[in-house]
């Protein structure tokens, strides 16, 4: 599903050049449940941004579902982000002026799906995360755990190839963290490829494979 070969990325300023990724080789198969671990500054967020086509890379090749992700125009990048990838963020990143169901439906808006179909599909995914009764609530009326579940529904609504989660439990207490991880587990069991970035060992241990990253290189990838 995901194939990285010798990915290098440097952040350049006028005077300095900071090499963040120094040659990443990584293969993630379809249906895998993987976590990327590393301390801050290790390059794990940059790696996730590249996987999510939010950021570009200087060298190497990144193939996602058989398509080479290189030198994409803004429009192409937007297309792949919308069709191939579902994002879950640490701080949920829901739009406050939209209701839960409208938030979930938003990615479909960019696929030009009509409103009724959008809301119907969004409702289905809200039901999947157990928030059907909360569909017309605004994000500020929901708890953190509920918000993150709405965000997961939003990531799933386009039926992406890969679900990318950036510290999805970072803003949650341990009980809700547990619930959210169970939800990821469930999604994984339904055959979805899930990649999450975390620095919490107990969260990472719930996944099938932990990829440790340090100073821009992969240390090991224990099965």
Partner 1 sequence: MFDRDTWQEILATIRKHKLRTALTALGVFWGIFMLIFMLGMGEGLRNAVFRDFGSRAKNVMYVWSSPTSKPYRGFQPGRVPRLNLDDITYLDENVDGIDYIAPRTTISGSISYNENVESYNIRGELSDMITVEGYKVYKGRYIQPSDIEESRKVIVIGKRVAEVLFGKGEWDKAIGKYITANGVEFQVVGIFGPEFLKPWTQEDLEATVIPLTTMHRAFGTGGQIHYFAVSALPQYKVSDIENDVKSILQQRHSVSPQDPRGIGGFNLEKEFDKITGLFNSISVFLWIVGIGTLIAGVIGVSNIMMIVVKERTKEIGIRKALGATPGVIIRSILTESIVITLISGYLGLLAGTLLIGSIDYIMEYNEINVQMFYNPEVSLQVGIGALLILIISGTIAGFIPGMMAAKVNPVLALKDE
The residue ranges that bind partner 1 (CB under 8 A) are 49, 52, 54-55, 74-75, 78-79, 81-83, 87, 89-91, 93, 95, 97-98, 102, 106-107, 109-111, 115, 154, 158
Angle at 88 between CA 176 and CA 99, to 5 degrees: 80
For residue 82, the minimal CB distance to partner 1 (Å) is 2
Nearest to 161 by CA among 197, 121, 192: 192
Euclidean distance between CA atoms 152 and 194, whole angstroms: 12
Measured from the CB atom, the residue of 103 and 212 that comes closer to partner 1 is 103
Measured from the CB atom, the residue of 81 and 188 that comes closer to partner 1 is 81
Strand blocks (E) in 51-161: 59-64, 67-68, 85-88
Measured from the CB atom, the residue of 67 and 110 that comes closer to partner 1 is 110
For residue 220, the minimal CB distance to partner 1 (Å) is 27
For residue 189, the minimal CB distance to partner 1 (Å) is 25
Measured from the CB atom, the residue of 70 and 115 that comes closer to partner 1 is 115
Measured from the CB atom, the residue of 82 and 221 that comes closer to partner 1 is 82
Measured from the CB atom, the residue of 55 and 179 that comes closer to partner 1 is 55
Q: Where are the alpha helices (DSSP H) in 110-143?
A: 115-128
Burial of 82 (0-12, 13-18, 19+ CB in 10 A): middle
Euclidean distance between CA atoms 174 and 181, whole angstroms: 10
Q: How do 33-37 and 193-198 pair as beta strands? A: parallel
For residue 107, the minimal CB distance to partner 1 (Å) is 5
For residue 7, the minimal CB distance to partner 1 (Å) is 16
Euclidean distance between CA atoms 151 and 126, whole angstroms: 10
In sequence order, what are the beta bridge partners of 28? 2
For residue 110, the minimal CB distance to partner 1 (Å) is 4
Nearest to 161 by CA among 68, 71, 66: 66
């Amino acid at each position: 599903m995901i194939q990285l070969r010798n990915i290098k990325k440097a952040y350049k300023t006028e005077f300095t050049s900071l090499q963040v990724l120094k040659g990443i080789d990584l293969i993630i198969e379809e249906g895998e449940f993987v976590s990327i671990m590393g301390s801050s500054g290790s390059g794990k967020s940059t790696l996730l941004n590249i996987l999510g086509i939010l950021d570009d890379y200087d060298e190497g090749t990144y193939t996602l579902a058989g398509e080479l992700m290189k030198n994409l125009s803004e429009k192409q990048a937007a297309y792949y982000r919308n069709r191939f990838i579902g994002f879950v963020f640490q701080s949920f990143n829901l739009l406050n002026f939209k209701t839960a169901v409208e938030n979930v439906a938003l990615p479909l808006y960019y696929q030009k799906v009509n409103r009724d179909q959008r809301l119907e599909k969004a409702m289905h995914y809200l039901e999947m995360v157990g928030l059907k009764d909360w569909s017309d609530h605004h994000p500020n009326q929901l708890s953190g755990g509920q918000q993150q579940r709405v965000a997961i529904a939003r990531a799933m609504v386009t039926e992406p190839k890969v679900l990318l989660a950036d510290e999805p439990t970072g803003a949650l207490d341990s009980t809700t963290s547990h619930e959210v991880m169970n939800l990821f587990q469930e999604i994984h069991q339904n055959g979805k490829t899930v990649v999450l970035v975390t620095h919490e060992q107990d969260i990472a241990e719930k996944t099938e494979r932990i990829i440790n990253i340090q100073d821009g290189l992969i240390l090991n990838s224990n099965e």
